[in-house]
Amino acid sequence: MDSRASPNHHSLHSGSSPPAIAKGPATMMGSYHTRSTRSLSALADDFDPRERRFIPRSSSLCSFLTENASQSLQGNGNGTITPTGAFDPFVTASGPLSAAGAVGPVSANPYSHDTAAALGGAAFFTNQTGFQQPRNVHDLFLPNDFREELQKKAAATLQTLPRFRLTNEKAIRSVQAWKRVCSGSVVTVHDAFTSRSFQDSSLIFVTDYHPLSKTLAEQHLGTGNRFPNRHGTHITEQVLWGYMTQIANGLKAIHSNGLAARVLESSKVLLTGRNRIRINACAILDVVQFDNQRTVADLQRQDLVNFGQMIVTLGANSPNVMHNPGKAMEHFTRAYSPQMKNSVFWLLNSLQKDQERNIDIFITGISSQLMSTFDSALHLDDQLTSDLSRELENGRLVRLVTKLNFVNERPEYEHDRQWSENGERYFLKIFRDYVWHQVDAQGDPVVDLGHVLTCLNKLDAGTDEKITLISRDEQSCFIVSYKEIKKALESSFQALMKPTRRMH
């Protein structure tokens, strides 16, 4: 092969077998010299000077960009679910719930980002008997849609009630009790205060912020300004049970602290994720209607009634269905199971004094559905652990790349313009070319993420494996181990950390 090919050819090899390297013609063997201040290793005797092609012999990840490179991540969606036995309240069934046996067992994870693995009763972690090589570069990292969703999250927001005048100084103190409510089903209240910063007397509530969330009314009833033309679709029983268990969880936390939600309606419950809801706007009425004479016990029973009315409204897909309760319940009975109907009837009759009714008794009655929700939460935890494991080593590699870039081609250090070109810093520069600037026999860039990750991981571990580094002008050659490169990198970086000697 013509010896005038690009000098950026660098070979990759592993183990103790002699590598094939890119270099000049055989007549140049005697002129090779080392620009380092110390001898690193003797040159191998049996290098083939004719070999110039990049051969990734040991990179286990070299097929990332060549095999299924265009494969995209699985999106969210519903799949076919076998309708037999117990069911998962968060997963949509494929058949009508009015049919016999429509509510069945589902081993799917309702929040899964990988629908293919989550549905159809497949194991949560597939192919557990052996390691499976990732088939796509994206398999190494968090799913793109999940990462983008997390990036849009923020810390807190201000909810402002303009032109409000506080009539009782004790009213604002009632918010302190809401700070003690800690539940995943309730939007956390952080503080409340009055302000004249908006040229009026405003009452401001500070709560957790859940961006991109929608209310249940917007999602299912087609109300709200953001979705004026949206028509609600029928809510399956599994999803409705999921809503009920989460709202019950929120009410238990609220009632256990001697409080009442008071604003339990579809326009005040946020849908913050896939079938993930939170009760919002709590504590507002406690301040605005502080002088209300109703007891907390009465308000808690009213919460249960509002709870039942909201479930009926969602089941009927109509915000005004409770104007005709008889017709609403008739539709609800046809669409949902007897257990669901009896649970809603129990809630709607909570104001009656015939028996004790509280959220604890209701939770006991729907315990089987709570277990399904709990099982789904465990699967979600497994899913998040699996996703986070893909990012486990990213911090190490970022720090390593940062150190390399601090050292490589630094214009000047301690008034020495050749600092980055001398000594051990020189082969750090060549190592950078070896990792990122390789070309193939045709002179095309080798864009191989597997090669990059393999080299960086070996450098971070400081292995004894040796690689061959060739300078761009093909006049310098190093045979050096990753351990020596790591030592040189740490030494150079520590030199940068020392106080600079200034010339006076």
Residue 425's pLDDT is 85
With 0-12 / 13-18 / 19 or more C-beta atoms within 10 angstroms meaning exposed / middle / buried, residue 152 is exposed
Asked if pLDDT for residue 137 goes beyond 70, the answer is no
Please give the average per-residue pLDDT across 166-172, as a whole number.
82
In this structure, the answer to whether residues 329 and 397 fall within a common structural domain is no
What tokens appear for 152 in the block? 């849009």
Q: Angle 394-407/424-436 helices, nearest 10 degrees?
A: 130
Last residue of a domain, one of 340, 372, 404: 372
CATH number (domain holding residue 354): 1.10.510.10
What tokens appear for 313 in the block? 């409204």
DSSP type of residue 115: H
Cβ-proximal residues to 273 (8 Å cutoff; 6+ apart), any chain: 111
**How much of the chain exceeds pLDDT 70, in percent?**
67
Please give the average per-residue pLDDT across 27-40, as a whole number.
35
DSSP type of residue 36: S
Q: Are 248 and 308 in contact (CB under 8 A)?
A: no
| Radius of gyration of the chain, Cα coordinates, nearest whole angstrom | 33
- Rounded Cα distance between 491 and 497, Å, is 10
Sign of the C-alpha dihedral computed for residues 351, 355, 356 and 360 taken in this order: negative
Question: Mind listing the pLDDT tens digit for each residue in 79-117?
Answer: 433 334 444 433 434 444 334 444 444 445 544 544 444
Q: Between these two residues, 9 and 271, which has the higher pLDDT value?
A: 271
Q: What contacts 24+ positions apart, CB below 8 Å, involve 470-473?
A: 470/7, 470/9, 470/10, 470/21, 470/22, 470/23, 470/430, 471/7, 471/35, 471/430, 472/7, 472/8, 472/430, 472/433, 473/7
Residue 153's pLDDT is 59
DSSP bridge pairs for 158: 206
Residue 409's pLDDT is 82
Q: Would you place residue 475 in the very low, low, confident or very high pLDDT band (cuts 50, 70, 90)?
A: confident
Q: Angle 237-256/338-348 helices, nearest 10 degrees?
A: 30
Please give the average per-residue pLDDT across 55-62, as a whole number.
38
Q: Residue 86: inside a domain, yes or no?
A: no
Q: Between these two residues, 18 and 337, which has the higher pLDDT value?
A: 337
Q: Residue 123: inside a domain, yes or no?
A: no
Q: What is the enclosing helix (H) or strand (E) of 158?
A: strand 156-161
User: Amino acid identity, residue 498?
Assistant: K
Q: Are 425 and 407 in contact (CB under 8 A)?
A: yes
DSSP bridge pairs for 215: 270
Q: Residue 264: inside a domain, yes or no?
A: yes
Total domains in the chain come to: 2
Q: Would you place residue 226 in the very low, low, confident or very high pLDDT band (cuts 50, 70, 90)?
A: low
Residue 281's pLDDT is 92
What tokens appear for 406 in the block? 């601090």
In this structure, the answer to whether residues 158 and 222 fall within a common structural domain is yes
What tokens appear for 426 in the block? 């020189």
Question: Mind listing the pLDDT tens digit for each residue in 249-284?
Answer: 999 999 999 999 999 999 999 999 889 999 999 999
Q: Residue 83: inside a domain, yes or no?
A: no
**Cα distances (angstroms) measured from residue 264 to each of 217, 300, 307, 344, 376:** 12, 11, 6, 15, 25
3-state secondary structure 379-413: HHHHHHHHHHHHCCCHHHHHHHHHHHHHHCCCCCE
**Cα distances (angstroms) measured from residue 209 to each of 156, 178, 307, 406:** 5, 16, 24, 38
In this structure, the answer to whether residues 365 and 487 fall within a common structural domain is no
Phi, psi for 208 (deg, rounded to 5) = -60, 145
3-state secondary structure 125-152: CCCCCCCCCCCCHHHHCCCHHHHHHHHC
Please tell me the pTM assigned to this model. 0.60
In this structure, the answer to whether residues 246 and 358 fall within a common structural domain is yes
**How much of the chain exceeds pLDDT 90, in percent?**
35
| Of the listed ranges 120-129, 381-390, 406-415, the one predicted with least confidence | 120-129
Give the Cβ contact number of residue 256 at 10 Å: 13
Residue 285's pLDDT is 92
Q: Residue 82: inside a domain, yes or no?
A: no
Q: Would you place residue 67 in the very low, low, confident or very high pLDDT band (cuts 50, 70, 90)?
A: very low
In this structure, the answer to whether residues 282 and 410 fall within a common structural domain is no
CATH number (domain holding residue 55): 1.10.287.3700
In this structure, the answer to whether residues 178 and 216 fall within a common structural domain is yes
Give me the chain's average pLDDT, please: 74
In this structure, the answer to whether residues 224 and 296 fall within a common structural domain is yes
* Domain extent at residue 61: 26-65+393-497
In this structure, the answer to whether residues 226 and 173 fall within a common structural domain is yes
Q: Would you place residue 143 in the very low, low, confident or very high pLDDT band (cuts 50, 70, 90)?
A: confident
Asked if pLDDT for residue 244 goes beyond 70, the answer is yes
Last residue of a domain, one of 372, 405, 428: 372
| Of the listed ranges 81-90, 300-309, 455-464, the one predicted with least confidence | 81-90
Q: Residue 299: inside a domain, yes or no?
A: yes
- Rounded Cα distance between 66 and 54, Å, is 15
What tokens appear for 293 in the block? 């004479």
Asked if pLDDT for residue 410 goes beyond 60, the answer is yes
With 0-12 / 13-18 / 19 or more C-beta atoms within 10 angstroms meaning exposed / middle / buried, residue 491 is middle
Q: Are 372 and 89 in contact (CB under 8 A)?
A: yes
Q: Residue 354: inside a domain, yes or no?
A: yes
In this structure, the answer to whether residues 229 and 337 fall within a common structural domain is yes
What tokens appear for 374 in the block? 């709990």
Please give the average per-residue pLDDT across 417-430, as a whole number.
81
Q: Residue 377: inside a domain, yes or no?
A: no
In this structure, the answer to whether residues 340 and 442 fall within a common structural domain is no
In this structure, the answer to whether residues 366 and 407 fall within a common structural domain is no
Residue 169's pLDDT is 78
In this structure, the answer to whether residues 404 and 442 fall within a common structural domain is yes
Q: Are 183 and 253 in contact (CB under 8 A)?
A: yes
